[in-house]
């Protein structure tokens, strides 16, 4: 058995995330929406910070149900800015509300909805990478860059190329586990 990817360190929460979530192909529209929003909140912070606050985020954002969030306005923004359990950043909070509205438009107008819109960036199938060291794993990738542009055109915010590639890695669009990591083959088998 090989060693897991070194980026997760030894924090039990991070190790569990690495072993059971990161890189697993996700096709549920609501779960994809949640992950994209959380990656937006992560901008400028360490992912472990978001993981530690994820339950609070889920409670504050109605389980990341876009059909609920899209109705929110200034009263909800004010409430969220006072919630010490989450990252209190007005721009990111307002982006999440706007992203819910963009999500709904894609659900209604794009064949296959948000899930198909996202996964079409990789022709519907996870890209199986063969990295042997963390130094080989890119921060961005051409297909992720294109998806970032398409998301922005669809009205999404906090979805730059680095955020979108991290999202694509986490949701299994790219299997960027090192080939020496047991999770690499596990995620590949799910493709």
Residue range 32-69, pLDDT digits in tens = 999 999 999 999 999 999 999 999 999 999 999 999 99
In 3D space, the residue among 133, 115, 132 whose CA is nearest the CA of residue 124 turns out to be: 115
Percent of the chain scored above 70 by pLDDT? 99
Average pLDDT for the chain: 97
Q: Is 136 exposed, middle or buried (0-12, 13-18, 19+ CB in 10 A)?
A: exposed
Contacts of residue 106, Cβ cutoff 8 Å, sequence gap at least 6 = 113, 114, 117, 154
Output the pLDDT for position 53: 98
Output the pLDDT for position 191: 84
Percent of the chain scored above 90 by pLDDT? 98
- Kindly tell me if the per-residue pLDDT of 2 is higher than 80: no
Q: How confident is the model at residue 73 (pLDDT cuts 50, 70, 90)?
A: very high
Output the pLDDT for position 1: 52
- Kindly tell me if the per-residue pLDDT of 168 is higher than 90: yes
Rounded CA-CA distance 36/118 in Å is 10
């Amino acid at each position: 058995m090989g060693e897991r990817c070194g980026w997760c360190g030894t924090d039990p929460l991070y190790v569990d995330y690495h072993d059971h979530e990161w890189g697993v192909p996700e096709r549920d529209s609501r779960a994809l929406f949640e992950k994209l929003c959380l990656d937006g909140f992560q901008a400028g912070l360490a992912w472990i910070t978001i993981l530690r606050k994820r339950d609070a985020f889920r409670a504050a954002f109605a389980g990341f149900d876009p059909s609920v969030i899209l109705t929110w306005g200034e009263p909800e923004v004010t409430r969220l800015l006072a919630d010490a359990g989450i990252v209190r950043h007005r721009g990111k909070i307002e982006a999440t509300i706007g992203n819910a509205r963009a999500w709904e438009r894609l659900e209604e107008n794009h064949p296959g909805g948000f899930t198909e819109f996202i996964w079409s960036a990789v022709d519907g199938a996870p890209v199986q990478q063969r990295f042997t060291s963390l130094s080989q794993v890119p921060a961005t990738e051409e297909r992720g860059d294109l998806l970032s542009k398409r998301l922005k055109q669809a009205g999404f915010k906090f979805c730059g190329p680095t955020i979108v590639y991290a999202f694509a890695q986490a949701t299994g669009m790219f299997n960027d586990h090192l080939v020496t990591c047991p999770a690499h083959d596990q995620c590949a088998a799910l493709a």
